[in-house]
């Protein structure tokens, strides 16, 4: 069943209706067309998720809306909170036939309690993921379906209920470029109606070259991150199976095109798997691939997932890898994952429930 068929089987919500549909719905309940715009604004701009608190609407309309048109379609299935207050939500969306589709959304507060910045929200773009990276819990369960635009947007509403947001990364479950239309519809609303600027939204992809080129041409309102994970083609075929046969050089050429068209630097994500891709040879080959490019490499030491064969790298190997890139003129930063004890790796909470 396609994403469209899935979402059609679900009942309407305030966020799933377009402007005309919402106005029509509100009028049918005795309101004026502009009441629909006010209600949506209350949710997206002001974070209100209860009609009773929308006091700028007539009381009778608030009651009718509360009875007829839910604001959100998801339910919180589970929540996992780490010691540093990183909160992972397992959200369930209706899927028809009484089945529920689950995804994860992670709210990561600033690392220092004194920080005046808001949190970072990590959102999912698909239910499950077809890319099937062997080190990723989400890849193990395969793809169930695309998320509808309002289901992506809803994650932001739920995330903001946990605290102000200053950044967002689309790095949760799924491959964003395979659900690009729905994703950009949602991100446009995040940008225009929730006020998160282009530089504060990052979309992370494994980098299908043709799709990446089209994305660059589509006036994207986000930053780009590409999950590379290795500089060697044969190893990438293993680590990112959906990209099998696509040379890394083609991915990097498409990333260069992105930079040329948008003027925004690309970030390369590199999950460091202890003993697999954290050697000096890997660092040297990666530096060669990226030599002379304006980009950054984010090194992400792997979070072990129950039952797999990959290991967390030694801290000294992580430092040496970063230092090697640095010496070769490639900017690299290390991103130790936050909230390690709370089912922190992508997809772990979902896999536990499955």
CA-closest candidate to residue 184, choices 201, 166, 159:
201
Q: Where are any strands of DSSP class E within the chain?
A: 75-81, 87-94, 100-108, 119-122, 126-128, 143-146, 165-170, 201-205, 223-227, 266-272, 295-301, 331-334
Nearest approach, Cβ of residue 216 and ligand SF4 (Å): 20
For residue 221, count other CB atoms closer than 10 A to its CB.
Answer: 18
Nearest approach, Cβ of residue 117 and ligand SF4 (Å): 26
Closer Cβ to ligand SF4, 310 or 324, answer by number: 310
Number of H helices, E strands in the chain: 13, 12
Q: Which helix (H) or strand (E) holds 167?
A: strand 165-170
Binding to ligand SF4 (CB under 6 A): which residues in 175-194? 175
User: Among residues 43, 131, 187, 300, which is the contact residue for ligand SF4, using CB under 6 A?
Assistant: 131
152 sits near ligand SF4 (criterion: CB under 6 A):
no
User: Residues 74-113: x/- map of binding to ligand SF4 (CB under 6 A)?
Assistant: ----------------------------------------
List the structure tokens of 78.
Answer: 């589970």
136 sits near ligand SF4 (criterion: CB under 6 A):
yes
Each residue of 232-261: b (16+ CB within 10 Å) or e? beeebeebbebbeebebeebbebbebbbee
* Interface size with ligand SF4, residues (CB under 6 A): 12
Nearest approach, Cβ of residue 234 and ligand SF4 (Å): 18
Under a CB-based contact definition with an 8 Å cutoff, are residues 348 and 305 in contact? yes
User: Among residues 132, 261, 331, 334, which is the contact residue for ligand SF4, using CB under 6 A?
Assistant: 132
Closer Cβ to ligand SF4, 98 or 245, answer by number: 245
Residue found by looking up tokens 């230092």 in the block = 323
User: Among residues 65, 91, 346, 349, which is the contact residue for ligand SF4, using CB under 6 A?
Assistant: 346
Nearest approach, Cβ of residue 132 and ligand SF4 (Å): 6
Closer Cβ to ligand SF4, 65 or 177, answer by number: 177
Q: What sign has the CA pseudo-torsion 315, 318, 322, 323?
A: positive
| Catalytic residue set | 104, 346
> Candidates 75-83, 107-115, 132-140, 272-280 — which segment interacts with ligand SF4 by CB under 6 A?
132-140
Rounded CA-CA distance 216/169 in Å is 18
What's the full length of the chain, in residues?
354
Closer Cβ to ligand SF4, 65 or 122, answer by number: 122
Under a CB-based contact definition with an 8 Å cutoff, are residues 310 and 273 in contact? yes
User: Among residues 206, 216, 252, 300, which is the contact residue for ligand SF4, using CB under 6 A?
Assistant: 206
Q: Backbone dihedral region of 129: left (phi > 0), alpha (psi from -120 to 50 degrees) or beta?
A: beta
User: Among residues 133, 153, 189, 295, which is the contact residue for ligand SF4, using CB under 6 A?
Assistant: 133
Under a CB-based contact definition with an 8 Å cutoff, are residues 273 and 302 in contact? yes
Which residue of the chain is nearest ligand SF4 when measured via CB? 139
Nearest approach, Cβ of residue 340 and ligand SF4 (Å): 17
Nearest approach, Cβ of residue 206 and ligand SF4 (Å): 5
Query: Apex CA 350: angle with CA 346 and CA 352, to 5°?
Result: 110
141 sits near ligand SF4 (criterion: CB under 6 A):
no
List the structure tokens of 145.
Answer: 């379906």
Binding site for ligand SF4 (CB under 6 A): 129, 131-133, 136, 138-139, 173-175, 206, 346
């Amino acid at each position: 069943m396609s994403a469209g068929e899935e979402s059609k089987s679900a009942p309407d919500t305030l966020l799933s209706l377009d402007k005309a549909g919402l106005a029509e719905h509100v009028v049918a309940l005795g309101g004026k067309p502009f009441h629909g715009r006010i209600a949506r604004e209350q949710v997206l701009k002001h974070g209100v998720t209860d009609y009773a608190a929308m006091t700028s609407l007539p009381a009778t309309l608030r009651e009718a809306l509360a009875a007829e048109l839910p604001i959100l379609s998801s339910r919180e299935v589970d929540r996992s909170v780490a010691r540093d207050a990183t909160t992972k939500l397992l959200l369930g969306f209706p899927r028809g036939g009484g089945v529920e589709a689950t995804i994860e959304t992670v709210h990561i507060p600033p690392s220092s309690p004194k920080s005046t910045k808001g949190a970072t929200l990590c959102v999912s773009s698909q239910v499950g993921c077809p890319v099937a990276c062997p080190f990723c819990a989400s890849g193990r369960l395969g793809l169930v379906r695309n998320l509808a635009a309002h289901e992506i947007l809803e994650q932001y509403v739920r995330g903001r209920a946990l605290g102000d947001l200053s950044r967002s990364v689309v790095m949760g479950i799924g491959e964003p470029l395979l659900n690009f239309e729905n994703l950009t519809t949602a991100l446009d609303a995040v940008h225009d109606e929730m006020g998160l600027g282009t530089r504060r939204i990052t979309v992370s992809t494994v980098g299908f070259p043709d799709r990446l080129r089209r994305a660059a041409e589509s006036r994207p309102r986000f930053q780009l991150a590409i999950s590379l994970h290795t500089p060697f083609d044969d190893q990438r075929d293993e680590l990112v199976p959906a990209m099998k046969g696509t040379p890394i050089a083609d991915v990097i050429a498409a990333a260069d095109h992105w930079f040329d068209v948008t003027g925004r630097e690309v970030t390369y994500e590199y999950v460091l798997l202890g003993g697999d891709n954290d050697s000096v040879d890997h660092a040297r080959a990666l530096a060669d691939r990226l030599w002379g490019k304006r980009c950054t490499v984010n090194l992400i030491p792997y979070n072990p997932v129950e039952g797999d064969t990959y290991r967390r790298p030694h801290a000294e190997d992580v430092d040496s890898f970063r230092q090697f890139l640095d010496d070769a003129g490639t900017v690299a930063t290390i991103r130790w994952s936050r909230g390690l004890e709370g089912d922190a790796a992508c997809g772990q909470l979902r896999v536990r429930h499955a």
